[in-house]
Amino acid sequence: MTNKTKKADYFSAFVDWLNNWNKERGTYINDLSKLKVLKLLFLWVSGNKDYLDVFDNFVAWDLWPVEKDIYDLINKDKIKGYSINSSNLSKKCENMVFDTDALEFANKTINFLKNKNVGLIKLSAGALVDITHKWQCWTLARNLGFEKIPTRLILSENWIYF
């Protein structure tokens, strides 16, 4: 399996788990937009070197650190089982089957995020932008003129989830 295929599979499972976590919050609000999903991906992956080897193309764009390969897949509507747009997501099929490693990744992801801040799923995309703008790796990369955020900068963070 190529890294891009692995990345796409892991992200699809991540989106499925996010959607389920979103349903747990009480009143279901389908606000899992492209921006929100990509922010939540960054917040989790940034704390785990093994997954930074998979999600290895974070760039410092104006509003966000974003995994560019995943951003491109979303824009091409190539996420397994889901379409994600600027305001929400829609499920393309029921009963999706995911690779065991992708499921393990997604399970660890959601549990990690819940332990850091169980309310993350309730935050707006704008609030998640505010959180990630507190991260120095994004600021440093932008100030140094880097588009790609070096993994060493991401790993050196004082991970902020509030």
Q: 19-48 pLDDT, tens per residue?
A: 888 888 777 788 999 999 999 898 888 767
* Dist CA 127 CA 39 (whole Å): 10
Q: Does residue 66 belong to any structural domain of this protein?
A: yes
Whole-number pLDDT of residue 71 = 95
Q: 40-87 pLDDT, tens per residue?
A: 898 888 767 778 888 999 998 877 789 999 999 999 999 989 999 999
* Dist CA 35 CA 32 (whole Å): 8
**Number of structural domains the chain divides into:** 1
Q: Does residue 50 belong to any structural domain of this protein?
A: yes
> Which residues are bridge partners to 59 per DSSP?
66, 148
Q: Does residue 68 belong to any structural domain of this protein?
A: yes
Mean confidence (pLDDT) of the chain: 85
Q: Does residue 140 belong to any structural domain of this protein?
A: yes
Whole-number pLDDT of residue 14 = 87
Supply the range of the domain harboring residue 37. Answer: 3-155
Cβ pair 18, 40 in contact under 8 A? yes
Q: How confident is the model at residue 161 (pLDDT cuts 50, 70, 90)?
A: low
